[in-house]
């Protein structure tokens, strides 16, 4: 019972934190999304035509939605947990009778909530530019939740290992953003030269975006079962690593 109360408290704190500053957490992705659809969808998309039988606008909508889920679920956890470390509030959790899995679940749940909420906002904006029809709702929702979970865990690990505010911006700017843009959001793998097709298959975000795209418009460049297994495998790996770091006090008990 105490664990349930502790978990609810952490999740409530996390959700309240990003809702309280909604002009900074929810409004920017709405504006950015509108620009994506206006520039890539309307201006450039009319010249590209169709990809795999889908209009270019319909093709990029799933990728842009999931890209927003990825970036905001990650940024929510990395900024929140590192701020807790920086302000020394983490000591209150460490001395409290709260298991490590509750701490991890609370912060990750907050990241999932923000990521999915931003995804909904982006989806609503996309409805102004395209007719969205979700062909496989179960797959779409599952991929969105799993992806938000995965990158919330990644953000947690970044926050634990970070030693300064600069450290929490390196991964999003130099790793996450390039992988997202190279993950097939705006193009199909078949459009790339041979060697690049091989290289992009090593980008895990490409599998997530294609799985999400399959759920929405039934178009994909990868095997869906492989994509889902890969996402779940990464979640298990990162969750285990996060719990080990919390148990050892890595980056916290210094």
pLDDT at 206: 93
pLDDT at 253: 67
Distance CA 220, CA 200 (A): 14
What tokens were used for 253? 């008990």
Phi and psi at 50, nearest 5°, equal -115, 155
Q: Which sign does the torsion angle of CA 103, 105, 108, 110 carry?
A: negative
Distance CA 3, CA 45 (A): 50
pLDDT at 215: 95
104 band by pLDDT with thresholds 50, 70 and 90: very high
pLDDT at 254: 59
121 band by pLDDT with thresholds 50, 70 and 90: very high
% of the chain surpassing 90 pLDDT: 52
pLDDT tens profile 40-59: 777 777 777 788 888 888 89
pLDDT tens profile 221-230: 899 999 999 9
Contact 198, 180 (CB under 8 A): no
pLDDT at 12: 94
Q: Does the structure show a pLDDT above 90 at 129?
A: no
3-state DSSP assignment of residue 243: helix
68 band by pLDDT with thresholds 50, 70 and 90: very high
- Any residues with CB less than 8 A from the CB of 121 and at least 6 apart, and which? 26, 29, 30, 33, 68
pLDDT at 46: 72
Q: Which residue, chain included where needed, has tokens 């390039």? A: 178
pLDDT greater at residue 104 or residue 39:
104
CA dihedral 236, 241, 246, 250 (to 10 degrees): -160
What tokens were used for 204? 């895990």
User: Highest mean pLDDT: which of 92-96, 165-169, 232-236?
Assistant: 232-236
Distance CA 156, CA 76 (A): 9
Where are the domains positioned within the chain?
Answer: 2-248
pLDDT tens profile 173-213: 888 888 888 888 888 888 888 788 888 888 999 999 999 99
Q: Between vectors from CA 70 to CA 168 and to CA 173, what angle results, nearest 5°?
A: 35
User: Highest mean pLDDT: which of 6-10, 28-32, 79-83, 111-115?
Assistant: 111-115
Q: Between vectors from CA 64 to CA 166 and to CA 49, what angle results, nearest 5°?
A: 135
């Amino acid at each position: 019972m105490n664990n349930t109360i502790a978990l609810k408290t952490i999740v409530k704190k996390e959700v309240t934190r990003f809702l309280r500053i909604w002009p900074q957490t929810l409004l920017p992705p709405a504006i950015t999304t509108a620009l994506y659809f206006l520039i890539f969808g309307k201006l450039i998309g009319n010249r590209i035509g169709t990809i795999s039988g889908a209009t270019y606008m319909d093709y990029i909508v799933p990728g842009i939605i999931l890209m927003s889920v990825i970036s905001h679920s990650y940024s929510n956890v990395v900024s929140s947990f590192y701020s807790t470390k920086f302000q020394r509030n983490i000591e209150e959790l460490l001395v409290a009778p709260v298991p490590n899995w509750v701490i991890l679940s609370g912060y990750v749940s907050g990241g999932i909530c923000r990521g999915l909420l931003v995804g909904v906002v982006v989806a609503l904006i996309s409805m102004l530019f395209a007719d969205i029809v979700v062909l496989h709702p179960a797959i779409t929702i599952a991929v969105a939740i799993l992806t938000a979970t995965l990158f919330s865990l990644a953000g947690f690990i970044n926050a634990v290992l970070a030693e300064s505010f600069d450290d929490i911006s390196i991964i999003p700017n130099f790793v996450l953003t390039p992988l997202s843009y190279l993950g097939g959001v705006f193009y199909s793998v078949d459009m790339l030269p041979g060697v690049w097709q091989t290289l992009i298959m090593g980008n895990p975000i490409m599998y997530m975006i294609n799985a999400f795209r399959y759920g929405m418009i039934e178009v994909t460049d990868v095997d869906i079962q492989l994509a889902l297994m890969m996402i779940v495998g990464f979640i298990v790996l990162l969750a285990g690593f996060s719990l080990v770091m919390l148990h050892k006090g890595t980056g916290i008990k210094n």
